[in-house]
Structures are given as C-alpha cells and as structure tokens.
Structure 1
C-alpha cells in the first residue's frame, strides 16, 4: 500500500511539473506546434514533386528543382508559406536502392541562437527521425517514403540509366 502511494505521488508530481513547464514556457510549446505544422505540408509537397518527376520523366530520381519556390509555384504549398514561419526552410531528396524509396529531408534554420535553442527543444517532441546541428542552428527532419507503384516494378527497371521505364502500350 505504501509503494502504491509513492507511485501515485510521483505521478502527480511529474504531471504537475510537466503542466507548470508548459505554462511557464509557452515559447517552447509554440515552437513545437510550428515545427509539427510545417512538417506535414512540406513533406506532402515533396512527395508531390517526386510523383511529378516520375510522371514527367518516367524516372524515379531526385527532382531537378527541389526549392521551396518550386513547390509553391506548382501550388503544392501556399504562396505565403515561407512567411508563416520564422525559419529558413530548405528541402533535400535522396533516392535509395534502385530509386524506389526516397529519403526526404526538411531543414529549418533559425536566425538566432535563442531561436535555435527553441528549435532544439521542440525537436525533443518529434516522433520522426531528426538531427540538430548547433553550428548551423538547424534542425533537419527526415522521412522515408516508398515510391514504387504497380507500373514501376523490377521488370521495367533500366539498370543502365537507373530509371524505371514506363511500359509501352501497343
């Protein structure tokens, strides 16, 4: 019975501590919210860029244009997207295997050491793969995405070019 009381007291103390930290550090909570809010639409737009590259080139490889401006020009992101967030936002793509899987990376770079610390703190709540670089004040979040569709199977892979060649009709 005594151990149960200690566990209950420890749980209540931990809960109150977490509550007081979130109340006392609203900047940390807001930064965490913004980091999560920027991830979903950017990764979705990056996937659209990969599918656009496949559809227009018949090849699963890194898109020719990986800039945020290109994602906004194609209306995969709103035109004012960069202005919504206090960081410099960059993207990068890396295809794995025969190009059937892509490792998408989103990098958020802070303008000040204070903002960089908030980014680092916010990263602690991310469930995905991430890396914080203190020298560059940047947080890089990774997502691995499969891009093989039924028309891009191994029988249509051209080993010489490293591309999936769409089946010819007729």
Structure 2
C-alpha cells in the first residue's frame, strides 16, 4: 500500500519518535461484498462505520500523510473506508474482518457471569437488549457473543480499520 501511495505522488512523512495521540478510529460496523469479482476482486460496498476517539501510541518510523498536498483527493478516495475506490473496498485490509480468537461456551459462561456481577451497567445493557430484541433474548449464543465482545478477552483489532484520523498540532516528523 505504501508503494501505491508513493507511486501516486503522496508525500509521506515518518515519525521521528514514539508519540501518543488521541485519534479518530474507525470500526467497520457493516459492509456488503459483491457476488462476482470485478478486476479480480470481490469489492466491498455499503460500508457502515462506527467511530471512536482513542489514544493510540505510534512508533518512531510510522508513516503520516497530511491533506495539505496535491495528492489530498487521492488520499481521501483511497484511505477513507467508505469511498468507492478505497483500499478497503478493494480488499487490502480484509485481515481486520477475520476474528482470530474466540471463546468456548463452557469456559466463557463463568467469565460472563463474573463480568455481569462486577459491572451493573453492563448488566443493564444486556437486560435492555434482551427486552428490546426477543430473538436476542432467546439466543444464549448471541448473549454470550455480546458478553465476549464487552470483555477484555475480545481482540481489540477485530474490525478496527488500520488507518486513523488525527487533527491537532505539530507532529514529530522528518
């Protein structure tokens, strides 16, 4: 991807030191994939996002691209996951769509019960979901999956888009 950006005239800078920034992080909430390949790819479309403000630590050598350059439009069209010709649409980041870790029901049931006992707000959210959604209330598997996604065991990179937005001051770049 970096080579494609460079070939398209994108000016990239590298961080000169580790730094923590509060960024806008995208999570893929939903998407559709075409039924037939187009130019060798099954394109993603109808992408829906969930965004969060999160502090993230970036390492010395990580790349930064700013929009104050002639290739700004290209950056937006390729890096914004909802864009028709984004790298996400073309399948460059399909790894984030795969959940690598999961749980065994018989093991996680006790963990979920403990989480509910320790976190009344989480218990309330689960109760509200059960009341609002009869199919969810009738499915033990759906409820365990919900609990797993709220737990510290859930892999934080699942569905997290690897490009973030940052608006702020000066960055330590070369």
TM-score bracket for the superposition, by shorter chain length: under 0.3
Q: Considering only CA atoms, is the larger Rg found in Structure 1 or Structure 2?
A: 1
Provide TM-score, normalisation by structure 2: 0.23
